[in-house]
Structure 1
Amino acid sequence: MIKRTLRGLVQILAGLGAGLVIVAAVLAWHLSSGPISLAFLTPHIQDFLGRYHDTFRFEMDDTILTWAGWERALDVRVVNVRAVDPEGRVIANVPELSVWLSAEALVHGLIAPRRIEFFRPRLNLRLDEKGQVAVALGDSEDASADLARRFLTNLSGPPDPTNAMSYLDTFRIIDADLTVRDDLTRLAWRAPGTRVEMVRSARGLEGEANMTVRHGGQAADVTLVGSYDTATERVDVGVTFAELVPADFAAALPEMPGVDTIRLPVQGTVTLTLDGQGQVEAVGYDVEGGAGVLRLPPPLDQDLALTSIAFRGQYDGLRDLLTINDLTAELGPEGHLALPAPTSHDLPLRSVSARGKVWIGRHRAILDSLTADLGGPTAHLTATLESAAGQAGGDLTVQATGSLRGVPVNRMATYWPRAWGSDAHRWCVTHLADGTFDEITAQVGLVRAADGDVRVGSLSGTMAVRGVTVDYLPPMPKARGANGRIRFDRESFNIATKGGRVAGLEVTDGLIKLLKVDTEDPEAELNLTIAGPVRDALDLIDHEPLGFASALNVDPAKTSGQSSTRLTMAFPLLNDLKLEQIAVRAESAMTDVRIGGVLLDQDVKRGRLDLTVDKVGMDVVGEVEWADIPARLAWRENFDDDAEFRSRFDLAAFVGQVERSVPLGFDLAPIPGEFIRGALGAEVHYTVFTDDKARLEAKADLADLSLAFPALGWTKEAGVGGTAAVDVSLAGNAVTDIPYFAVTAGDLVVLGSVAYDDPGTVKRIDISRMSYGRTEVKGTAEPRPARDPGGAKGWAVAVTGSSFDMAPLWEEFTDNPDAQARKKPLDLDVDLSARLDRVWLGDGRFVTDLNGMLTRRGHLWTDVALTAKVVDDKTMAVDVVSDGAAGRRLHIASEDAGAALRTFELYDNMLGGKLEIGGYIDDSKSDSPMTGRISVEDYRIKDAPALAHLVSILALTGIVESLQGQGLSFTKMDIPFTYQNDLMTITDARAYGLSLGITASGTVSTKDEELDLTGTVVPAYAINTALNNVPLLGKLITGGEKGSGLFAANYTAKGPAAKPDIDVNPLSALAPGFLRNLFGILEGQTSVKPDGELVIPDSQADR
């Protein structure tokens, strides 16, 4: 049974299949010839469609069956469907319409469409000014917002058994001719061949549209994918496009500012989210573009030619915030950006990338980052832009921070607009070269007014530069290889440098300030610290336009040492800068300094000096050695011709060994510097005036100095206080006047002045006071021509005063030339006139009312003519007369020989007498021997120990008593002598009176004060010598000795002159004259010791 049933079922199915095949074959044959009309269905479809719309009716031409391809197979379509209002107007039409019925609706007994497709319709979309969408189908231009709203509601809502359209789940528009019009922007564009599909989803509605948008002769492929959430009424749309020029559609996208600036084909994706009120919640974009133009907004306001661009970001509708996550533009190797007025500068720009944010409603934007390739250097920028009060049309405030790296200094003008600090720009471009700006940073505040005027509210920044050449003040040497950091703002531009070299000097640091750059009178200040050789430093400050070293009369080539110099300059930023407009100052610390011939032709060396110089003058202070003298120097140099002086040198010196110091460089004769020894502290003030005249003021502390003036017999030992002062006027280095000099040392006071004829030529020396010891005089000295060409000049000296200590001069006068040479007396030619109330020749020995002339040539007093008074107003005279080179004649006369001899410390035991000394000094011989005679008449001898010893041997008691009492009277003394080499030789000298006669021959050493004499003592001289007058017999009796007598004794005197050893032959005292010489040869003599003891020889004592 079952088998029979199955077999029957199979047969039925086979038959049906065969029938279907036959039907399909027949149907395919008919379809291949074209669509098959199903006109019988048209009334039913028309009735079905009209059942749901009471405001209009549907009309259609036919219903057909057509082959739609293997994907769709057979398709039933209604042709030329029209919606007609009660007045008969066609309000919508579709060329073809395809309807698929809903199986779910059929179950409920309802015929309803599940899918509807429009083919090749004309679709008009209109966006009114409120943002609502109205749709018109076909030839009608009356778009209905209600139609579109009701259609979307049916498609997105749940199925409703009372509403056949609620079963619709798919709606397609195929090959539509789409036109979009925007009432707000007046923008219209077409998209022929548009395909639209909307499908019901679990959450609402999803859709996709593909079209080629045409506008302004351009075509762009656009794909839209979207969804609608029925619960939230939120719409999400994604747009993918290619070859789209955004600027062509900018008016349709007001929520996306800047779209109108993109005038180049782009491709990418834009997403859009709308809320239930149709307001934009969010927009996202990811776009790339090719070559074209990017229109920059004001204030840049220009077309920027690009080779490519890419940007992505989003728009937050709730915050009204547009975010640019990344914007990259390539401009190519010739790309540039024109900065608008007032900048007006073309800036190389090869590429740029940026990100930022724009608060559209608040009219505020933040540029988080911008990086630009400027044709080598790289720029980075951040900025904030904000409109006043957050409203359009107000002042736009810009706060920007930027940096620029790797800018060659020589290309500075390429990247620095002239208008950005025109004065600073001009100075830097003109005076900076070489090297690289490693980094430039800037912070700027700009305000762009509604009228387009741009002003700078704030400006500051820094620049880091290395290897730069700074031409700080042409034509001075440039500083090369410097590294530095620059700080700038609206008012100033400061360049701080490190390192570098200028004219052989190292620039350790520097600061160049450009000030008041925002005014019409900008200024510059320059500070450089420069280290190196003193010579190079002086070369630098001597360079044009300064010329300081030349103004100092210092030759840099004659200097050495090391220096650290701070050079400061200030001047206006002018193209035609003049020297008088430059304020300049240099401060230098110098070590081991040598300056040749800077002061009185003497070098300054081993100096540690601080120098300050400006256009007014120069100051130098420090420790130096001047003329080998350690000193503290203060040097002031004035450059103003109207200044009180040109140069002033203040020296505080300590001379350790005056005798070894070099001369000052000018003649201060006749100051005897060779008699100065020891240490000297002095202050010297040397002033040079603008007429090249000079003044030297010196004060010295003589406490550590030993002074000796042999000619005056005055000395001061070290440790005895003293001061000296002198005021000297000079012309050049020649002395023209010494208006004052003073020496106060120990008991010495010297005050005076020196007058000059011609510069360097002494006319007169005036000593207004000279006081020391027993001297109180004043005097003058005038020069005399030198006796030999090229020799030392002579002096005419006049001395007056109440008292003068001549003891030292007298000792020198009585010395022979060899002794004088050993003492090294002052070698001068002097004509000395004297008028003195009292002249001291030694302790307690003086003359009064001295008048006379003394002439000295070299080491010798050649001519003397003196008169004076000794004790009791007795006169004496000393005359020395030169007869030329051969010799000098000496004559001394005194009314009181004893007083004269005592005064001159020649012999203290003579009283009274008349003195005559005559002699001749033979200067033709090297030792200048003197031959002469001493004669004294009518004198007495008292307290003469040597003579008393002598006569005591002869038991001449009366004579001894006379010597010890009133003195022994003598009638005459006659001493012929020669004097040579400190030795006086006496021949046949004799002295005699009534009581005694004595003869002597031998020598007296004035050097050792020793004598060696032999002679005869004659008692009772007047009687004893009377026999001499008897011819022949007298000579026989007296022995023929001149001055001898009948009874006399021979003696010898040897040893110290004060206490000689005296030997007497006692036999000769009793023998006649002709036998005395015989007894003199006897063995042994009785001698008398200096103390008076009689000594008898041993041979005589034995008898």
Structure 2
Amino acid sequence: MEPKGWRLTQRIDEGPAVGARAPRFLLGFFQRGSTAVRLRGFCVVRCLSILAVTALLVIVLTVGAFFAALARGPIASDWLAPKIVEALDDLYVHRYQFGISSVAIASTDHGLTFTVNGLAVKSGERTILAAPRAQLSVDPRALLIGRLTPRRLDVLDLELRLEVLPDGVVAISAPGADPVAIPLDAPSPAEPAAEAQAAPVIPSLRQAAGALRAVMNFIVDPESPVAAIDKIGVSNARLVIDDRTLDKTIVYDDLTLSFDKIAGARRLRLGATGSTGHVGAEVEAKGGLGERRTLDARLHSLSMEEIALAAGARTLPFDTDAPLSLDLHFALAGDGRVVEASGKFSVGEGFFRLEEPDAEPFMLQELSISGRWDIERRLLAIEPVEIRTSVARLSFKGALTPPAEGTGVVALSFDLARPGAFLPTRHGEAPLVVENAGLTATLDLLAKKYKVERVFLDGPEVHATASLDVDGAQPDGTHLKYAIHATQTPLRSVLRIWPTQVAAPTRMWMDEHITAGVMRSGTLTADLDQQAMTAGRYERPPPDAALRGDFDLDNATLIDAVPGLWPINGMNGHIALTGRTVSFVATSGVMESAPGRRLAITEGVFRAPSLGFDPAPAWIELKLAGGVEAVADILSLKSVAPAASLPMDANQLKGQIEGKLRIDFELGLAAKEEHTRIAVDAETSNLTMERFIGKERLEGAALRLVSDREGLRVTGAGRVFGAPVTLDLRRAAGEKGQAQAQLSLSLDDAARVRAGYGFTGVSGVVGVQVQTRLPIEDSESQFEIDFSKAALDHPLPGVTKPLGKPGRASFTLVKRPDGSALEQLQAEAGPQQFSGVVELGRDGVLRSAKLSQAKLSPGDDMRLEVTRGGDALKLVVRGANIDARPLLRFLSQPAAEQSAAAVAGKPPNSDDFDLDLKSPIVTGHGKQILSNVDLRFERRGGKPRQLSLTGNFGREPFAAMLTRHPSGAPQIDLSTSDGGAFLSFLDLYHRMESGALSATLLLNPGRSDGTMRIQDFYLQNEPAIRQLVMQGAARTDDKGAAHFDPDSVKFARVQSAFTWANGRLTMRDAVMSGTEIGLTVDGYIDLARDRIDVSGSFVPAYGLNNLVSNIPVIGFMLAGGQHEGVFAVSFRVSGAFSAPVLTVNPLSVIAPGLLRKVFGVIDGTGTGRLPESAPAPR
């Protein structure tokens, strides 16, 4: 069936020739041989000639008038409309019905032309063409005989609309014409089963040549439908293409179409202006039947949208904005043989992108493919193929062998025409030179199997081969297999020739994370079915078994294995990948986070077990050995720190570490940092951590660090303050920030001094256990102190404990904005117990303390409050019962020669304080009780400023107050009516009863000098008195009556000068006398060392015996001194104070005073070691 409208001008040249029959008509009126008749005929001829001339003149004038009128403008000639319709109808053999609304005659470049308005063409009841305006040129020779023969038809101002509907139907419409629907994907008519199963037929070369001959014959054959046409044209038309499948509209303006006959050729031209510019096509055919014929076709400035539309394809597998051009040339011999065939396809400058989610676009500079038919070899020689893009510069030559008769196998081969290169994609990269490359392929068009047997690239830095197999005849769709192999090729070169859409997730990861290295050997294979390939278009990974890759790497560099991680250099390892997994196993590598901070990686593993998901899980595990500073840098990374959350500042760590580090994280745009997990199992050696406790650092630590799903655990030992410390740190899984730590320290004397806790009176090893949240400065800490291996000798007044006895203290150290506090303080050492709260300032100085319980002895009931006012501490002590013996023992101790503070280079503690103590009962030695005690004491500048002490020994009052010596030194005045109780209270002497005591004590630096006087007292059961009495005189007279009882001796007075220094009481010129006996004493009692060494004279019958001593000169010669007698016994008490030894010189009984002194010098009973003199008290 012929296309509608095709034969509009087919019969324009088919009119009858009538001119030849006119002479015969005129001659029929005359007969031969008749003269009269001839004369009459002559007249008739003459008349007719005149008539003809007249008619001709009228015609000329009429024609002249017509053209004169035509020169002024078109001449309306609607009366010709039926004639034109009749001529067109005759031309197309009444196949179509033509309609014209109006006709005008005009003169144009093409001669006399009929301008037709409202041209309509119908086929049956349907309008197939409706043009607002058209121009029809006719044959002027035929017009002279009154016949209209069209020779040229130009349709003007035509608007054609083409709509591609979503159901695949193309609707063509024009104004005034009925729309035509053409289904592009119409199903073929039902065929018999046998025919339906018949194999497709591939056109052979003979068929292709026949088709080419048919086309050329149609154009040049005089008998063809277009042979009689001079020109058919469309001008100033508009084409609108509305593609509703893509929701896109394409408009072409200035559409021109012309088909011309020129001398020896036929030419078809098409041109239009679209969105991409001017589009044109030209086809020219030359020659005639039986001679050489040529066909040249050229299309230029086409876009892919236009090609897709022309091909009826809704979508293409790629997208580009580059202009496309096609040049074709064919030549046929006179016998119809194809003697020449060549062509060139070229793509201009623009971008190019495959319609694959992972394909990266690139810029095209030039792509051209030229080919020619080689008659002798019967193949298509393709040379050259020029590729110039932003990623490559390559030139190929090859050949395509068409299928043989009855087969569908096409052979294709390409080789590199000259060395080419892949261009660098990153700054600093060099071009990848390709010296040799090639491709060999077999395409079975009948079986739909396409196989690339071998593709290879070879150059200085690339050695790769590949193969590909596509099977399109599988029941479940197309199958794709490929294999890529590379050897001794730099990794960056591999990635530059690796298509971005092939194993895209793996390639992307390698491109982003491996910046250097050599692929010693690598293989990538794939077996993908239609479902897997479709999934790839939607960025879903193929099945795990569909893809397999194995790559051996040397000296690779891995970057950003974890976001922000420093490069790992010198890695040797193996990459294994599947459709959904990728892993990298390294056997060596080095990471350096900063100069000198190196980590040697003896083993390393990276795995991403579920690629294709967003986010995709991944993990990296490294076996490390090196500086802990580098590991600290890793744990400080922004991407790792939230998950690591070390309880200390990683920058304060130094030392060596060896172990495993595992980091679980996520890949992809939806990856979240909070899902990062860190696992560590490592051991450190020679670890140093700054500011471990305060400003003190941890040194020489050997720690085991484990961080896993159960939490963080750090155990080990080191040294702090120069002493050993064990560390046990734990933090539960899911927690961040601080970690619970337990520190166990063993602090000897030197360590305590270094730590600033070198208290006087503490010796030995003190165990300290701290439970805290690191860092210590920012959290509460539980302290447990063990004094069992330490001795306490009055670190606080009255607190003592021997070595080996239990002793402990515990408290909670709480940090506050203005300092710290020791809360829940509990301390005990034997009977000594303390509990309460102590508050310290920011500098560690005591600010206040409140001890709800303070016991120095089991029976104590005492409370203590300490507050700081200005530069002094105020101590308020309240108690119901206070045992003063521990304090008295403290006062009896010698002063330390050098305090721990002085050893540590610190000034001695000289806090000023005020003491306010009140207690109804204060118990001392010898079961003595000082009741109703009221003590007020002030010290400033290390010296006492005020003392006021009152109380009672039974009913006898006791008082002590601070006065001033004339020298300005402070002096304490004591007085009591029960001196025996006072001396027993102080544990100075326990065998005295009663006695009015008065004493003065001059306080000097390091010592106290004073005098004491006691009157009217008794000595009860004094062994020394009893022994002296036995040595010196009988206790009965001649009648047996007792002179006195040695177990209860009354004395009238005792007086002595003394010095107290370092727990040692030194007596000078001590005299004790009564009516029965008297004593003189000189020497010392060292309470601190439990020693005594005193000597003197025992004078019996003192009242009578001493009378001579008052006589000048004679008294000294006979009595030996003012307080001695004529008869006396020299004695010495020495040894332990708790078990003294009395030594008596029996000769001294019979020796007078001066001689007795001489004997005392010889045997030591008369000498006492006296201290240096001191100013006499007031």
TM-score range (shorter-chain normalised) is 0.5 to 0.7
- d(CA) in 1 for partners of 2:854 and 2:674? 58
- d(CA) in 2 for partners of 1:937 and 1:506? 93
Question: Is structure 2 residue 769 aligned with structure 1 residue 682?
Answer: yes
- 1:621·1:633 contact (CA, 8 Å) conserved in 2? yes
| Structure 1 residues 1017 and 816: alpha-carbon distance in aligned structure 2, compared to 1, 3 A threshold | farther
Q: Show the counterpart of 2:454.
A: 370
Aligned to 1:468, the other structure's residue is in SS state: strand
Instruction: Determine which of 478, 490, 498 is the counterpart of 1:416.
Output: 498
Aligned to 2:566, the other structure's residue is in SS state: coil
Instruction: Determine which of 844, 850, 856 is the counterpart of 1:766.
Output: 850
* CA deviations over 1:655-693 (Å, ceiling 9, x no partner): 1x432325686x77xx9475042252524314559xx74
After TM superposition, give the deviation of residue 630 of structure 1 in Å: 3.2
| Structure 1 residues 916 and 960: alpha-carbon distance in aligned structure 2, compared to 1, 3 A threshold | farther
- d(CA) in 2 for partners of 1:184 and 1:1083? 160
Instruction: Determine which of 888, 899, 913 is the counterpart of 1:810.
Output: 888
After TM superposition, give the deviation of residue 891 of structure 1 in Å: 3.1
Normalised to the residue count of structure 2, the TM-score between the two structures is 0.54
| Structure 1 residues 648 and 835: alpha-carbon distance in aligned structure 2, compared to 1, 3 A threshold | farther
| Structure 1 residues 660 and 1025: alpha-carbon distance in aligned structure 2, compared to 1, 3 A threshold | closer
After TM superposition, give the deviation of residue 417 of structure 1 in Å: 1.7
Q: Show the counterpart of 1:435.
A: 517
Question: Is structure 2 residue 683 aligned with structure 1 residue 587?
Answer: no
- 2:937·2:944 contact (CA, 8 Å) conserved in 1? yes
Instruction: Determine which of 477, 483, 487 is the counterpart of 2:576.
Output: 487
- 2:921·2:931 contact (CA, 8 Å) conserved in 1? yes
After TM superposition, give the deviation of residue 603 of structure 1 in Å: 0.9
Q: Show the counterpart of 1:852.
A: 935
| Structure 1 residues 1067 and 978: alpha-carbon distance in aligned structure 2, compared to 1, 3 A threshold | closer
- 1:602·1:664 contact (CA, 8 Å) conserved in 2? no
Q: Show the counterpart of 2:656.
A: 561
- d(CA) in 2 for partners of 1:451 and 1:551? 46
Q: Show the counterpart of 1:918.
A: 999
Letter paired with 2:499: P
- d(CA) in 1 for partners of 2:679 and 2:826? 40
Question: Is structure 2 residue 935 aligned with structure 1 residue 841?
Answer: no
| Structure 1 residues 551 and 919: alpha-carbon distance in aligned structure 2, compared to 1, 3 A threshold | same
Q: Show the counterpart of 2:783.
A: 698
- 1:524·1:573 contact (CA, 8 Å) conserved in 2? no
The 5 Å alignment of 1:43-442 reads 265=374, 292=382, 307=397, 329-333=414-418, 350-352=436-438, 370=454, 372-373=456-457, 377-381=462-466, 385-388=470-473, 395-442=477-524
The 5 Å alignment of 1:22-41 reads none
Q: Show the counterpart of 1:979.
A: 1059
After TM superposition, give the deviation of residue 478 of structure 1 in Å: 2.4
Aligned to 2:838, the other structure's residue is in SS state: strand
Q: Show the counterpart of 2:1034.
A: 955
**After alignment, is 630-639 or 487-496 more displaced?**
630-639
- 2:798·2:856 contact (CA, 8 Å) conserved in 1? no
- d(CA) in 2 for partners of 1:517 and 1:1082? 114
Question: Is structure 2 residue 578 aligned with structure 1 residue 500?
Answer: no
Structure 1 unaligned residues grouped into runs of 5+? 1-179, 190-213, 218-243, 249-260, 269-286, 296-303, 338-345, 787-792, 1070-1075, 1091-1103
After TM superposition, give the deviation of residue 518 of structure 1 in Å: 3.5
Instruction: Determine which of 585, 588, 607 is the counterpart of 2:701.
Output: 607
After TM superposition, give the deviation of residue 916 of structure 1 in Å: 1.6
Letter paired with 2:695: D
- d(CA) in 1 for partners of 2:876 and 2:535? 97
| Structure 1 residues 800 and 350: alpha-carbon distance in aligned structure 2, compared to 1, 3 A threshold | same
Question: Is structure 2 residue 834 aligned with structure 1 residue 750?
Answer: yes
**After alignment, is 1078-1087 or 411-420 more displaced?**
1078-1087
After TM superposition, give the deviation of residue 650 of structure 1 in Å: 0.9
Q: Show the counterpart of 2:860.
A: 776
| Structure 1 residues 800 and 585: alpha-carbon distance in aligned structure 2, compared to 1, 3 A threshold | same
- d(CA) in 2 for partners of 1:453 and 1:561? 49
Instruction: Determine which of 702, 709, 717 is the counterpart of 2:794.
Output: 709
After TM superposition, give the deviation of residue 727 of structure 1 in Å: 0.5
Q: Show the counterpart of 1:1009.
A: 1092
**After alignment, is 614-623 or 773-782 more displaced?**
614-623
- 1:798·1:833 contact (CA, 8 Å) conserved in 2? yes
| Structure 1 residues 663 and 779: alpha-carbon distance in aligned structure 2, compared to 1, 3 A threshold | farther
After TM superposition, give the deviation of residue 597 of structure 1 in Å: 1.9
Aligned to 1:809, the other structure's residue is in SS state: helix
Q: Show the counterpart of 1:211.
A: none
- d(CA) in 1 for partners of 2:1128 and 2:618? 112
Normalised to the residue count of structure 1, the TM-score between the two structures is 0.57
- d(CA) in 1 for partners of 2:414 and 2:1162? 146
Q: Show the counterpart of 1:630.
A: 724
- 2:797·2:890 contact (CA, 8 Å) conserved in 1? no
Q: Show the counterpart of 2:557.
A: 469
Letter paired with 2:649: V
After TM superposition, give the deviation of residue 934 of structure 1 in Å: 1.4
Letter paired with 1:330: D
Aligned to 1:1049, the other structure's residue is in SS state: coil
After TM superposition, give the deviation of residue 774 of structure 1 in Å: 3.8
- d(CA) in 2 for partners of 1:245 and 1:535? 81
After TM superposition, give the deviation of residue 798 of structure 1 in Å: 3.5
Aligned to 2:1007, the other structure's residue is in SS state: coil
- d(CA) in 1 for partners of 2:437 and 2:1070? 135
| Structure 1 residues 186 and 519: alpha-carbon distance in aligned structure 2, compared to 1, 3 A threshold | farther
After TM superposition, give the deviation of residue 773 of structure 1 in Å: 4.3
After TM superposition, give the deviation of residue 740 of structure 1 in Å: 1.8
Letter paired with 2:663: T
Q: Percent identity, please.
A: 14
Question: Is structure 2 residue 668 aligned with structure 1 residue 573?
Answer: yes
Aligned to 2:524, the other structure's residue is in SS state: strand
The two structures, once aligned, show a CA RMSD in angstroms of: 6.0
Higher RCO structure (Cα 8 Å, ≥6 apart): 2
| Structure 1 residues 1078 and 610: alpha-carbon distance in aligned structure 2, compared to 1, 3 A threshold | closer
- 1:933·1:977 contact (CA, 8 Å) conserved in 2? yes
After TM superposition, give the deviation of residue 765 of structure 1 in Å: 1.7
* CA deviations over 1:177-227 (Å, ceiling 9, x no partner): xxx9979996999xxxxxxxxxxxxxxxxxxxxxxxx9999xxxxxxxxxx
| Structure 1 residues 771 and 329: alpha-carbon distance in aligned structure 2, compared to 1, 3 A threshold | same
Is the radius of gyration larger for structure 1 or structure 2? 1
After TM superposition, give the deviation of residue 578 of structure 1 in Å: 9.7
- 1:707·1:717 contact (CA, 8 Å) conserved in 2? yes
| Structure 1 residues 687 and 1085: alpha-carbon distance in aligned structure 2, compared to 1, 3 A threshold | closer
| Structure 1 residues 351 and 844: alpha-carbon distance in aligned structure 2, compared to 1, 3 A threshold | same
Instruction: Determine which of 1008, 1014, 1028 is the counterpart of 1:935.
Output: 1014
Instruction: Determine which of 1127, 1135, 1144 is the counterpart of 1:1049.
Output: 1127
* CA deviations over 1:476-535 (Å, ceiling 9, x no partner): 532233233323333344444443333233343444455765456567655554432122
- d(CA) in 2 for partners of 1:976 and 1:706? 37
How many residues get paired? 770
Aligned to 2:1028, the other structure's residue is in SS state: helix
Q: Show the counterpart of 1:651.
A: 742
